[in-house]
Amino acid sequence: MIRTRFAVLALAPLLTLVTPALAQHHSLSSSAEASAHPGAAITQTNITLSDGFTRATLPGAPVAGGFVTITNSGSEDDVLIGAMAGIAKETQIHEMAMEGDVMKMRQLADGLVIPAGETVTLAPGGFHIMFMGLNGPLVEGESLPVTLQFKNAGKVTIELPIGATAAMAPAHAH
C-alpha cells in the first residue's frame, strides 16, 4: 500500500490533501484520495480549496450552485478562469450583486481574481460556481466532483458534499 501511495505522489507531486486525521501524521496524499474524502481541503501549488459544498436539487431542476473557500498563499495573484462538472452541460463562475435594490447574477467572463495572500469565499448570495443544464438531480448525502481551472495553479478537482436544499454552509461530520 505504501508503494502505491508513493507511486501516485510521483505522478501528482503538487497536489496535497489535508484532512484533520491525516494532518498530524502526513502532509501529502494522492489526488485519488481526494474523491474518497468529500469536503477535505486540497492544496495545489499556492491555492487551497476548503469548505466546499453544493445543495440538493429537486428532480428536473435546471441549475445548481457550488460553493468553496479559495486561499492563495502565494506572492502572485491567481485567477479562477473556469470550472467543469459532469452533471452539467455548462459550468460557469458567477457573482451575485445588488444593483440598486435588485439582486442580479452574472457570469465572470474574465474569471475571479484570487489575490496573493488572501482568501476568497464562494458562498450563497455572492461569488459561486453555477451548474447549468443539469442532467440529473443532486442528491443530499452524495458528493459532486468539480474541476476548477486556475490561470497559474492549473486544474484542481474537488469533491463537493451535497447538503440539504437550503444549506448555507458545508455540513461537518464530527
Could you give the domains of the chain?
Answer: 40-163 (2.60.40.1890)
CB atoms within 10 A of CB 90: 13
pTM score, two decimals?
Answer: 0.76
pLDDT tens by residue, 41-66: 999 999 999 999 999 999 999 999 99
- For 102-129, what is the mean pLDDT? 95
Q: How confident is the model at residue 97 (pLDDT cuts 50, 70, 90)?
A: confident
Least confident range from 63-72, 77-86, 93-102: namely 93-102
pLDDT tens by residue, 134-174: 999 999 999 999 999 999 999 999 999 999 987 777 775 43
* Dist CA 116 CA 50 (whole Å): 17
In sign, the C-alpha dihedral spanning 155, 158, 164, 166 is negative
Between 136 and 10, name the one with better pLDDT: 136
Give the CA radius of gyration of the chain: 16
* Dist CA 153 CA 164 (whole Å): 31
- pLDDT beyond 90 at 75: yes
